[in-house]
Amino acid sequence: MVDEDVSGAPDNVASAQVDHVDRQSEMEPDMRITAIPVDYRLSKVLGRDVAPEEIAIWTDMPPARRAKALQRIAALDRYCGGEEGLTAKQAAADAGVKLGRFYQMARAWPEARSLRSLGTYAVATQSRERFKPDIVNALQAVVAEVVRDNAIPPASVAKLAQLLGDRSGLPADDLPKKNTLRLYVEREIRRVREARQAGQEILFDCSASSLRRKDGDRHTVFMIIDRGTRLILGRSVGSPAESASGYAAAARDAQRRIGSGSFPGRLWSPQLVNVQLVPGTDMDGVRELMQQVYGETGGSTPQVVGQGTYGRYIREHVGLKLGPIQLLPGRTGDALGTEGSDALGLDDADALARLDVPIADHNATVLADLSVDGESLPPGELVRLLEPMARG
């Protein structure tokens, strides 16, 4: 890993990554900044009541630096928490920093769980041009609209920067310099482009199906869906009462598909940004699985959404019909065997064989229509997420 600061803004345009980010650097805390939604990952590591200054720093960090921050926090928590057998040298390697710098962070961390304490040289990398939250919010409020409304035919970055200044409604004296407006535009363009790439947002979901089991119940289908492309990365069948096992099997299938080249081409995002998981009725098992994932990855743990919201992502990104198979979210969790035994019912292996044909058709259609220029390999965070998930 490269030893670089994670708490400052990018040093140049080339290093700018996409996200809803602001050039908010060292500033007086302002409660207006709380209008920006708090990333659940930040709340997880710093607590529910995240200070406005922390939100300002986080929103100023592109995704790659946020990932580094979470990586460092995981290593610091393990080391400062006294994990048995963990040396400072190993913790520094896990944090991606040199040993001397890790000692500096470790001394500060127990007393100040702050993004600033993750890098002692943050001030040196901060933007020379600093803005009040209302200026930042005015630009962020319209930059997505400016880029979207001028995508066909695509306007130049210079033109978009001019439009951003015009639509912001800011007085001329408050407008940032042209290069800063360009940076906002370039970040938004990159955000839009990367949002269409695979591996940036991953969704774990499940639904009952029209496939019958031998006991008369319906097979529940578990899927790992890529939000940006709508690809089905992995699948399994099981029961909502054992959703942790169902998602573990789907993760193993995703590993197999990715490893066998089922998703060819430069379609991958450079980083995993968000993961959502719809739990079954086995909340204890799901919590245990999430703890295992967090213990190994630190920052890529799925956010568990509302229990009972089966099929919410399948409906939106795949649809409720895969070839001849119907997906029936409203029937998920029906009592086992209430509809009587079915001599023509399918065991798990046969159900998967039936399911694989329409999934292959779905993915082939998605890939044929896909037009992205990303990485040839999946983001490392996704690979590391699937490893503990697959072990269940």
Digit-coded pLDDT (tens) for 204-236 = 999 999 999 988 899 999 999 999 999 999 999
Q: In the numeric block, which tokens belong to residue 93? A: 């390697």
Q: For the purposes of burial, counting CB atoms within 10 Å of the CB of 20, is it exposed (0-12), middle (13-18) or buried (19 or more)?
A: middle
What is the rounded distance in angstroms from the CA atom of residue 382 to the CA atom of residue 90?
23
* Residue-range definition of the domain harbouring residue 87: 13-125
Residue 8 falls within a domain, yes or no?
no
Domain tally, the chain: 3
- Assigned domain for 6 exists: no
Band of pLDDT at residue 185, cut at 50, 70 and 90: confident
Query: CA 255 → CA 189, 300, 370, distances in Å?
Result: 31, 16, 21
In terms of domains, do 216 and 305 share one? yes
Residues 94 and 144 in one domain: no
Are 3 and 103 contacting, i.e. CB atoms less than 8 angstroms apart?
no
The per-residue pLDDT for range 235-276, each reduced to its tens digit, is 999 999 999 999 999 999 999 999 999 998 889 988 888 899
The pLDDT value given to residue 13: 31
Question: In the predicted model, what is the mean pLDDT of residues 110-137?
Answer: 64
What pLDDT does residue 119 have? 59
Are 290 and 214 in a shared domain? yes
Do 216 and 70 share a structural domain? no
Please give the pLDDT value at position 363: 95
Local confidence band at 189 (pLDDT 50, 70, 90 cut-offs): confident
- Asked whether residue 135 carries a pLDDT value surpassing 70, the answer given is yes
Q: For the segment 88-98, what is each residue's pLDDT rounded down to a tens digit? A: 888 888 888 88
* Furthest-apart CA atoms within the chain: distance in Å: 77
The whole-number average pLDDT for the span 148-175 is 87
At residue 203, does pLDDT exceed 90? yes
- DSSP β-bridge partners for residue 327: 209
Are the C-beta atoms of residues 248 and 390 closer than 8 Å to each other? yes
Q: Encode pLDDT of 267-300 as tens digits.
A: 998 888 889 999 999 999 999 999 999 888 866 6
Specify whether 297 is located in the same domain as 205. Answer: yes
pLDDT confidence band for 48 (50 / 70 / 90): low
Beta strands in the chain (DSSP E): 201-212, 218-226, 232-238, 274-277, 303-304, 321-322, 325-328
273 closest CA partner among 292, 300, 295, 247 = 300
pLDDT of residue 57: 74
Confidence label for 120 from pLDDT (cuts 50, 70 and 90): very low
339, part of any domain: yes
Within-domain flag for 169: yes
Angle of helix 99-108 relative to helix 88-95, nearest 10 degrees, comes to 90
Q: Which of 51, 140, 68 is nearest to 105 (CA)?
A: 68
pLDDT at 163: 93
Burial 91-112 (b: 16+ CB within 10 A, else e): bbebbbbeeebbeebbebbeee
Tell whether 5 is covered by a domain: no
**Residue 2 resides in a domain:** no
Q: CA 243, CA 221: separation in Å to the nearest integer?
A: 10
Residue 130: the pLDDT is: 58
Same domain, 208 and 224: yes
Domain-embedded: residue 218: yes
Identify whether residues 47 and 19 lie together within a single domain.
yes
Residue 358 pLDDT exceeds 80: yes
Q: Which of 167, 160, 169 is nearest to 189 (CA)?
A: 160
Q: Are residues 205 and 80 in the same domain?
A: no
Based on the fold, state whether residues 258 and 345 are members of the same structural domain.
yes
The Cα 371–Cα 355 span in angstroms is: 26
State how far the Cα of 299 lies from the Cα of 388, in Å rounded to an integer.
Answer: 13
201 vs 6, higher pLDDT: 201
> Is 335 found in the same domain as 206?
yes
Residue 208 φ then ψ, to 5°: -65, 160
Report whether 306 contacts 43 (CB < 8 A). Answer: no
In this structure, the answer to whether residues 101 and 217 fall within a common structural domain is no
Domain check: are 282 and 312 in the same one? Answer: yes
Does residue 1 fall inside a structural domain?
A: no
